[in-house]
Structure 1
Amino acid sequence: MEGLVLLNDLVTRLLFVLHSLVGVWRVTKVKGDPWYWLLALLNLLLFLETVLTVKFKRGRGYNWFSPAIFLYLINIVPSLWLLEMHHGTQYCDVQSEGLSQNISRREDTDPTLMSKEKVNGVNIIETAKVFVHNLSAVCETTWTLGLHQTFLLLLIIGRWLLPIGGTITRDQLSELLLMFVGTAADILEFTSETLGLNNVRNNPKLVCIILALWTWSMLQFPLDLAVHHIECPLAVTRRGYIKQFFCQCSSSLWNIGISVFIQDGPFLVVRLILITYFKVINQMLVFFAVKNFLVVVLHLYRLVVLALGFRASLRHPSEATNAEHRYLAQPSGSKEGLSIPLRASPVTSEDSHLTP
């Protein structure tokens, strides 16, 4: 079992490294500067984390936080920033059409010779070079969108394959993965929809703001606080209403806070700015702005419901305790037929004079 845990640990980190290297390779291809390969040195942080995890944790995960996913974000996010800030995607459709025609011509020329080469295995290296050349000639926008999509998919798959920590169960992990699927779809829609607008793409400051909010929204993936159910110790329950409320409703409050302050809230602000200030109005932008608004309102409504329910749960035990004290203070003849909603505490020596 321990060998399987180490295998999942190493395979997941290997996928993270390979994807980040593909991102760096694409940046060097687009920028035309080999110095961007220095971004690959960020993978040394992930290598160091892997060594420490295998040595001290035997491949097991950490509580509340995933360092591997956080370091993967550090590795891939700079490459995606550089690709999104790069200009030169005007002739994407023309390039894609020319590429498809070029590939079709190569497939149509001398099929007998191609079949012989496949059978004999003589030209495998040349075929691989042609394949890599075709990949590098794919439209820049298509490459960037593909990196975004595979990035989000690897976050979900990696969180699934990584060994879980000691405080999260399989049921909580499945709940977390379902949350990540919906979150990833919303984030991908946000970046592809807003950055695809011409008014946004021609404004570098606005692109930086959108990418900054996108980076901020990605910070929720290394965390698993939204699915933890904490049992509050007795010392916390005696420190006041607010601390007890935050302790007992911690998972729901984390879920609300992530949505309002990390994802739907910032996304709503950006979309409202695009609609009101930049006069960018289209059907999808308005729809997702309304969706973000409804999600924020529903989460605030849920917060109010949680607060009222917690207050009511505190009020009822206090009323029951008062009724129990009244029951103990009454004469023995008047106690018949009086029910106690809570279990009675044992009679101490101080209350022995009340016992008939």
Structure 2
Amino acid sequence: MGCFTVSRAITVRVLFTAHGVFSIWRLFVITNDPQNWYLLLALFGLAFETAFTLYVKRGEDWKWFCPSVFFYLACLVPTIWFLELHELNERIREHILNTTSSGGDETSRTTSSWNEMTTGIIGTSGFNSHQWIRTLEQLLLLILILGRWMLPKGKLTHDQLSQLLLVYIGTAADIVEFFEAFNEEQVKYNRTLCTVILAIWSWSVLQFTLVFTATKGRKESPAGVEVPAENCCTPDVFGIIMSIFMQDGPFLVLRMLLIFKYNVLSYTNMFFTCKNTLVCMLLTYRFVVYSTVHVGYC
């Protein structure tokens, strides 16, 4: 077991733990609910996984699945849910108070009290609760990318690891863009839509627990002619399916729902709807071509 491998494995898990504890602390500060500290139980799973990886796996991570990322998400995803739902309840409460208030002074007092509550949470930093939530969400994606980079690469080659990191960056950018739906007027006060967005987001970030880059090489015949591997269910196929069913497909369905049912015709929503449509079409085309080329070897 190399010291450098062990140090990288420990550093990444310490980073996961620190961000998890900080996020739960922010949730406690915003909601003032001590029961939220129970979310730390997921980090005990991370501690057990760390010990197992160091003493059984000798510092090397798993080939197809990353349990450390899973436990990290098991801590962060519920925390983000509670933060977003708390923010949603406050938005709805403010909206109801403003629409039912008849006097201008009363409305001004309501708005003023809301601003004081949201901007005074952290004191001198100037961050309100909405900004804190977005910061934690983006830090989650950034730490996932950095963590995958720092983790021992196992049987991955440097080229495969770089490809995986580039895929992670593109995935993270799409997920950040997906949260722009919360800014739509038809969405920000709709509890059902906000819950659906969070559910799709939770489903999409599970991609980071999977590693589909450990592809098999080509076989060579005795004459030196390269022959594709016999198994057509390659990591490339799983990667295409994962992209369609865990990201672009659900994103497209939601955005189409916003357009045709809730009449969300903003430039942002229309642009990303077209983008997800094109990506799904290209992924489907790639899957068909790949299957056609390898059909003789399945």
If the length of structure 2 is used for normalisation, what is the TM-score? 0.83
Give the corresponding residue for 1:7.
Answer: 7
What displacement does 1:182 show? 0.4
Residue of structure 1 aligned with 2:175, choices 174, 187, 212: 187
Give the corresponding residue for 2:106.
Answer: none
Structure 1 residues 97 and 80 mapped into 2: Cα distance closer, same or farther (>3 Å)? Answer: closer
2:292 aligned with 1:305:
no
Residue of structure 2 aligned with 1:172, choices 144, 156, 160: 160
Give the corresponding residue for 1:82.
Answer: 82
Give the corresponding residue for 2:151.
Answer: 162
Give the corresponding residue for 2:209.
Answer: 222
2:245 aligned with 1:255:
no
Structure 1 residues 9 and 262 mapped into 2: Cα distance closer, same or farther (>3 Å)? Answer: same
**SS of the residue aligned with 1:138?**
coil
Higher Cα Rg, which structure: 1
What displacement does 1:228 show? 2.3
- Alpha-carbon distance in structure 2 between the residues aligned to 1:9 and 1:245: 32
Q: Does the 8 Å CA contact 2:187/2:193 hold for their aligned counterparts?
A: yes
- Alpha-carbon distance in structure 2 between the residues aligned to 1:280 and 1:59: 49
- Alpha-carbon distance in structure 2 between the residues aligned to 1:96 and 1:176: 42
**CA-to-partner distance for each residue in 1:6-62, whole Å, 9 max, x for gaps?**
111111111111111111111111111122112122211101111111111121111
Q: Which amino acid aligns with 2:175?
A: I
Superposed counterparts of 1:271-286, under 5 Å: 271-286=255-270
Q: Does the 8 Å CA contact 1:95/1:139 hold for their aligned counterparts?
A: no
What displacement does 1:194 show? 1.0
Q: Does the 8 Å CA contact 2:16/2:143 hold for their aligned counterparts?
A: yes
Root-mean-square deviation (CA), in Å?
2.6
- Alpha-carbon distance in structure 2 between the residues aligned to 1:245 and 1:57: 28
Q: Which amino acid aligns with 2:48?
A: L
Residue of structure 2 aligned with 1:210, choices 181, 187, 197: 197
- Structure 1, unpaired ranges of 5+: 100-131, 234-242, 315-356
Q: Which amino acid aligns with 1:255?
A: G
Count the aligned residue pairs: 268
- Alpha-carbon distance in structure 2 between the residues aligned to 1:138 and 1:38: 25
What displacement does 1:269 show? 0.2
Give the corresponding residue for 2:186.
Answer: 199
Q: Which amino acid aligns with 1:149?
A: Q
Report which stretch shifted further, 257-266 or 1-10: 1-10
Q: Does the 8 Å CA contact 1:245/1:307 hold for their aligned counterparts?
A: no
- Alpha-carbon distance in structure 1 between the residues aligned to 2:14 and 2:79: 18
Give the corresponding residue for 2:138.
Answer: 149
- Alpha-carbon distance in structure 1 between the residues aligned to 2:138 and 2:67: 21
Q: Which amino acid aligns with 1:219?
A: L
Q: Which amino acid aligns with 2:127?
A: V
- Alpha-carbon distance in structure 2 between the residues aligned to 1:138 and 1:303: 45
- Alpha-carbon distance in structure 1 between the residues aligned to 2:116 and 2:14: 32
Q: Does the 8 Å CA contact 2:9/2:152 hold for their aligned counterparts?
A: yes
Q: Which amino acid aligns with 1:19?
A: H
**CA-to-partner distance for each residue in 1:137-191, whole Å, 9 max, x for gaps?**
621110000001110000000001011223x212101100000000000001102
What displacement does 1:84 show? 0.8
Q: Which amino acid aligns with 1:201?
A: K
**CA-to-partner distance for each residue in 1:70-116, whole Å, 9 max, x for gaps?**
110101110000011113356699559977xxxxxxxxxxxxxxxxx
Superposed counterparts of 1:103-118, under 5 Å: none
**CA-to-partner distance for each residue in 1:212-252, whole Å, 9 max, x for gaps?**
11111111101111x2212589xxxxxxxxx94624xx122
- Alpha-carbon distance in structure 2 between the residues aligned to 1:35 and 1:269: 35
